[in-house]
Amino acid sequence: QVQLKESGPGLVKSSETLSLTCTVFGASVTSGNYYWSWIRQPPGKALEWIGYIYYNGRTLYNPSLKSRVTMALDTSRNQVSLKQTSVTAADTAVYYCARTTIVTKLLEFWGQGTLVTVSS
């Protein structure tokens, strides 16, 4: 069974860099069948897609976040990482990692999410 688990600091200071890791179980991040996405949800608000990374390192980011976001793969640990610079209170959210099957565009597997709070 595929499982995704996000991890990282729950509290980040304003203007600093948010760093999260998604560990994948039951599937390989080196598979060419999937995109690995990060999606966030501010408290009480809608979902927002941050971007995805493909097995070969190709990325696509949300244009509104592109200048501050970097995603990467650690194939030895089967992990996907997210770095987001210059955070503000508006970046406070639950951050999810999720897997999309490319052929069907089926966003089927999600992590449980991790809450990141940006403090001033």
Partner 1 sequence: QSVLTQPPSISAAPGQKVTISCSGGSSNIGNNYVSWFQQLPGTAPQVLIYDNDKRPSGIPDRFSASKSGTSATLGITGLQTGDEADYYCATWDNGLVFGGGTKLTVL
Q: 32: Cβ–Cβ under 8 A, 6 or more apart, which residues?
A: 54, 55, 56, 102
Q: Give the pairing of strands 59-61 and 114-119.
A: unpaired
Query: Which region among 9-17, 24-32, 58-66, 72-80 touches partner 1 (by CB under 8 A)?
Result: 58-66
Question: DSSP letter at 100?
Answer: E
Query: For partner 1, which residue of 51, 69, 82, 92 counts as binding (CB under 8 A)?
Result: 51
Rank residues 13 and 57 by Cβ distance to partner 1 and give the closer one: 57
Answer yes or no whether residue 7 interacts with partner 1 by CB under 8 A. Answer: no
Least Å distance, CB 107 to partner 1, is 6
Query: For partner 1, which residue of 86, 112, 117, 119 counts as binding (CB under 8 A)?
Result: 112
Rank residues 15 and 112 by Cβ distance to partner 1 and give the closer one: 112
Least Å distance, CB 13 to partner 1, is 27
Residue 116 CA: distances (Å) to CA of 25, 47, 84, 103 = 23, 15, 12, 32
Six token digits for residue 1: 């069974």
